Structure 1
Amino acid sequence: MGVEAATFLVKESIEAGEPVYLVPRTIANWEDGKTAWPRAKYRRLLHTVTGRTATELGFTEPTYRGRATAPRKAGRRKAVMRRCADAACSWVSEPRY
């Protein structure tokens, strides 16, 4: 799933005019809760794609001295990333003329 989601998000970032570099490991870290608060460019991209803020997606905003509180459960993130992967699969399977 990570490759498809990464491909989809990179494509969306290019269309949004703010290209990002994403690898499947980054997405896995988001899903597993290893990344408490993604960088701003990724938060903007996720908001563009999902219509939800990073907090609504389950990420935890940093607090004192830049350290984030304990990450929320990653279940909501996984559901969102699955939707991104589904959209990526449909994008990849579209015929090219």
Structure 2
Amino acid sequence: GYGVRFAISGVGKVTNVDPDLLLRAQIRFVMVEAQALLAQARNAFSGFRMAEVKGRLDRAAADLIVTDVADQETLLEVLDVGADFASGPVFGPPALA
């Protein structure tokens, strides 16, 4: 590799992620907002199965990053769903290093 990893953000439905397209485009991170992911997980009619989503991402060697995790309750739900990574205000304000 070249030390560069690409991400795609603003994914609305993680169930529509195409692993072959991710591989071809060398996308290694799929970013979805916490509320969008949790809405899919809570909706019994959405066809959402995290194991299937993880399987697709694994085939593409990509990780799921859940963004905009605003509070502890949302963080617990995101962890229960099984996301690889998360980011947002619950982890603290941004600061210069």
Tell me whether the two structures share a fold, i.e. TM-score over 0.5.
no
Q: Which has the higher strand share?
A: 2
Output the TM-score relative to the length of structure 1: 0.30
- Higher RCO (C-alpha 8 Å, min separation 6): 1
